[in-house]
Every structure is written in structure tokens, then in C-alpha cells.
A and B are shown apart, each in its own frame.
Chain A
Amino acid sequence: MADILAENLSGKAVMGSDGTELGMLYNITMDLKSGELHDLLVQPNEQVAPSRVAFDQDDRGRFRIPVNRVQAVKDYIVVQR
């Protein structure tokens, strides 16, 4: 995966490696000091039952998906699940 500008990822659809649509990318968290990336924050689709998804949720119900789960980024962001 080549370097990418964050703006190009914003609002992209996020899909699990099993083909389920999880939601839309809302933001990404990072450590400002080291520049290390932490989690994708994904706004779940309405038809997604969060209880059937193994990822943690933040206080606004967004999935926290560790950046190391990202497998591919093109039309979708594909994450291992």
C-alpha cells in the first residue's frame, strides 16, 4: 500500500475480509508525538449488528479497528476480521 493522504480515505466504505460491509471511515487515531497510527474509527452501517462484530466501540458507537488489520485500500478499505 503506497502512502495516501488522509483526505482521500475520509468517508470511504469499510468492508470486512468476509465481505460484510461494516460502515464508513469517520477518522483515524494517532500518537501525535511518535506519529504512530492507532485505530480506524468506523461509523457502523445501520444494518450492522454491533454485537456480531468483534471490534470495540467508542462512546459514540463507532468501531475501533486497529490499523494493523487493514489489508487493502482501493474502492473499499478491507479489514481482517
Chain B
Amino acid sequence: MDGTPEEITTLVGREVYSNNGVFVGEVEDVRLDLDHETVTGLALTALNDELFRNQIEPGKGVLIPYRWVRAVGDVILINDVIERLKNPEEDEESLVV
């Protein structure tokens, strides 16, 4: 992430973890907004079933906002708010930020 332009397909197939090291899923596709010339999200598949069991049917994917991305290296690290999906009722207050 040193600001050198990279091809967007380098993101595809990379594993995604939360900042705390929890596996989230794998990048399947990249969502673009050509008007604003930005990447708006990552489409993830092969999801961590434990994390998404309560929200997402098995075999389906999720879109996460690109602003959650913290680091791109051998793997991609994203904001750990993603872990709140696991126990949404416990953390309802903290989701209202």
C-alpha cells in the first residue's frame, strides 16, 4: 500500500481477515464507481461460516465497503467491525457510531 498503482485484479482471490486476525472470506470481485473514479467495495465469497451464520445463507457472498480496508499485502486486513456480525444483539449500541 505505498501508493504505487496496482491492477485491480491483484485483489481477486486474496484472503480477507479482520484486524484481529479473524478469517472473513476471499475476494471474488471488486465493485467500482466510475463516476467518482473509486473502488467502492469488495465482493467476498468462501465466507467464514461461524461469522456469518446468522446473517447470510451458506453459499452466498457479501459486499464490504472499501473504506473498511486497512491493509493489502499477502492478505487483506479490514476493520474489525465485521466481527460484530457474529453476535449482533450483544453489540447493538456500539454499532451506532
A: which residues have CB within 8 A of B? 1, 3-7, 9, 27-39, 41, 67-68, 70, 73
Contact = CB atoms under 8 A, between A and B. Distances in A.
Contacts of B29: 5-7
Interface of B: 1-3, 5-9, 11-12, 29-35, 37-41, 43, 66-67, 69, 72
A3 to B, nearest CB: 5
Contact of B7 (A5, A28, A34, A36): A28
Contact of A32 (B34, B40, B72): B72
Nearest to A29: B5
A35 B38 contact: yes
A27 B72 CA distance: 18
Nearest to B7: A27
Contacts of B2: 33
A33 B69 CA distance: 8
B7 A29 contact: yes
B3 to A, nearest CB: 6
9 contacts: A1-B33, A3-B33, A3-B41, A4-B34, A5-B32, A6-B9, A37-B32, A67-B34, A67-B37
